[in-house]
Structure 1
Amino acid sequence: MRNSYSLTFKRQVIQRVLETRDANKVARENGINTFMIYRWLKEYRKGKYQEFSI
């Protein structure tokens, strides 16, 4: 079964990894796979999770 994570959750995880620079620790804290975090970071750096202001 595939998990679905909210945009808010992804942003929180990304922010935590950027602060701590420890994706393994953040993955353990949140019960998710480290490779998922690396994927989200890659997408974040490409602008996928940026907030838009009107």
Structure 2
Amino acid sequence: AQGLAAMGRAVGPTWGGILFGLRYPLPFLLTASLLSFAVAAGLKLKKADATI
């Protein structure tokens, strides 16, 4: 878990900087889409769990 967190602290800003360099809204749009996907998946799992 510590290694994964350290990798995230190193890789995250690097990818963010690359995306920001390409077009400044990209890091924000990509994060919003990933979070939307995660919320939708969580709601779908919660709904499937309630029917069991």
TM class by shorter-chain length? 0.3 to 0.5
Q: With CA pairs under 8 Å and 6+ residues apart, which has the higher RCO, 1 or 2?
A: 1
Larger-Rg structure = 2
TM-score relative to the length of structure 2:
0.35
Name the structure with the higher helix share.
Answer: 2
The normalised TM-score by structure 1 is 0.34
